[in-house]
Amino acid sequence: MTQATRTLKLRALVALVVGSMIGGGIFSLPQNMAASASAGAVLIGWVITAIGMLTLAFVFQTLANRKPDLDSGIYAYAKAGFGDYMGFSSAWGYWISAWLGNVSYFVLLFSTLGYFFPIFGEGNTPIAIACASLLLWSIHFLILNGIKEAAFINLVTTVAKIVPLVLFVIITLFAFDADIFFTDFWGKGNLELGSVMDQVRNMMLVTVWVFIGIEGASIYSARAEKRSDVGKATVIGFLGVLLLLVLVNVLSMGIMQQPELTALQNPSMAGVLEQVVGRWGSILISVGLVVSLVGGLLAWTLLCAEILFAGARDHTMPNFLKKENRNQVPSNALWVSNGLIQIFLIVTLFSESTYLSLFYLATSMILLPYFWSAAYAVLVSWRGETYESQRRQRNKDLLIALIAVLYSAWLVYAGGVQYILLSALLYAPGALFFAQAKREQNRPVFRPLEKLIFAVVLAGAAFAAYGLYTGYLSL
């Protein structure tokens, strides 16, 4: 990257992190959490999540500062630490998670608009898909006009969508009822929730989904005006979003009891605020969600294109994906990403996929890229790379990275076998792109260990395909 292309300032990087993280998840958080856990388990889960995600934020900050030559973050770290195929798989998994998450955003967006216009239904009716397609290609051509301009619009929408969230927190803070919050605190009155540990495990995928995007600044490290701003943006964005998420979730449990929250339609924040102030509260949240989703769609479409472009730039992805237009936008990568989003939007007409099923699958795809980034941070600190005589700092970073690895492994476990298998089904076709990139360099496709890893992925994909065919697995 030349200095001329390093155009993203700290505020734009923070907005990319916050804009990526605050999409649709926070607006459905009260119902999603209540369906999985009681108030006591929710508090335990948030403590685990805060520690785990904070360590991941520090991992991205540390690697951004200590490995400035590794642009594009989450993908480059896996490749540097564990070889070409694991690096490619991280890029592929992250990319699929990004565009699949966008499909879920489109469904939720028009499901929300269905509150005002019943013709949109649950976001997967023919007219909803047609309008979603129109919005998709509007965003596409906006981005083609320039990354910097799109990032500015993302900054504006990020500010706009935070306003109703802050109003929600202020209003529910004054309406909070401790008696409601502590009713059946551990969920013993609801046998369907299971034990406290079961409740904590079941809510973990939801917490991951609302934090996806924490690595947003790392993806754009090559375009940052100052390299040091990448780490700052990651931590600032994380802490701000964490505060909002915890307040929205906990305060809701002091407004309505767990069974009532579970029964709410999404966006459930609308139902909670309507309970306090009446119908205008529901309208406020619905409008806020629409703005939030549009901003989230913009941020994630930017990330979709950037991750493919970064992979092609260092020959992990096929060369055709590194083509840029005159505005320095990775145009081919953008066309491929949005083309697949369009296909899956059409698929929702026939499969009737819901927001929840799509976001759980998108979440499962990003768990392994997070794990490999944390594992690479362990390698860097263990080997002492870039630390020289900084022994105390090295030990501190090693501890943080180890916690991040354990947390990432816990998330894979919490996701369950179903989503691991479905992820394998989506990972397997990526080998075609990987093989093409290797052929372009006249290099062997797989090393011996990579052949074994790919065989495991193929076996998982085959089992998943059989499970979908027999009905054992479903989206």
Could you tell me the domains of the chain? Answer: 3-353 (1.20.1740.10)
Give CA–CA dist 109/348, Å, rounded: 14
- Least confident range from 35-44, 112-121, 270-279: namely 112-121
55 and 407 Cβ atoms separated by less than 8 Å: yes
Instruction: Give the mean pLDDT of 111-117.
Output: 83
Instruction: Give the mean pLDDT of 165-189.
Output: 92
Query: In the prediction, which pLDDT does 3 show?
Result: 43
Instruction: Give the mean pLDDT of 183-202.
Output: 84
Query: In the prediction, which pLDDT does 4 show?
Result: 39
Q: What is the pLDDT of residues 123-143, one digit of tens each?
A: 778 999 999 999 999 989 888
* Whether residue 147 has pLDDT greater than 70: no
Query: In the prediction, which pLDDT does 321 show?
Result: 92
Q: What is the pLDDT of residues 252-286, one digit of tens each?
A: 999 999 999 999 887 889 999 999 999 899 888 88
With a CB cutoff of 8 Å and minimum separation 6, the contacts of 396 are none
Instruction: Give the long-range contacts of residues 396-403, CB within 8 A, separation 24 or more.
Output: 397/58, 397/62, 400/55, 400/58, 400/59, 400/62, 401/55, 401/59, 401/62, 401/374, 401/375, 401/377, 402/378, 403/51, 403/52, 403/55
Give CA–CA dist 277/268, Å, rounded: 15
Closest CA to 46 of 29, 27, 22, 21: 29
Closest CA to 98 of 356, 315, 351, 363: 363
More confident: 19 or 320: 320
* Whether residue 2 has pLDDT greater than 60: no
Work out the mean pLDDT of the chain and round it to a whole number. 84
With a CB cutoff of 8 Å and minimum separation 6, the contacts of 266 are 27, 28, 31, 32, 108, 111, 355
More confident: 419 or 340: 340
Q: Measure the CA dihedral 472/108/373/153, to 10°.
A: 160
Q: What is the pLDDT of residues 311-359, one digit of tens each?
A: 888 888 999 998 988 888 889 999 999 999 999 888 877 765 555 566 6
Q: What is the DSSP letter of 278?
A: -
User: DSSP string of 295-326?
Assistant: HHHHHHHHHHHHHHHHHHHTTSS-GGGG---T
Give CA–CA dist 181/169, Å, rounded: 16
Instruction: Give the mean pLDDT of 421-445.
Output: 91
Query: In the prediction, which pLDDT does 220 show?
Result: 64
157: left (phi over 0), alpha (psi -120 to 50) or beta: alpha
Give CA–CA dist 169/251, Å, rounded: 7
What is the pLDDT confidence band of residue 419, given thresholds at 50, 70 and 90? confident
What tokens appear for 123 in the block? 């976001």
In the block, tokens 């480059």 appear at 76
Query: In the prediction, which pLDDT does 248 show?
Result: 94
Give CA–CA dist 78/55, Å, rounded: 17
What are the residues facing 473 on neighbouring strands?
A: none
129-140 CB burial, b ≥16 within 10 A, e <16: bebbbeebeebb
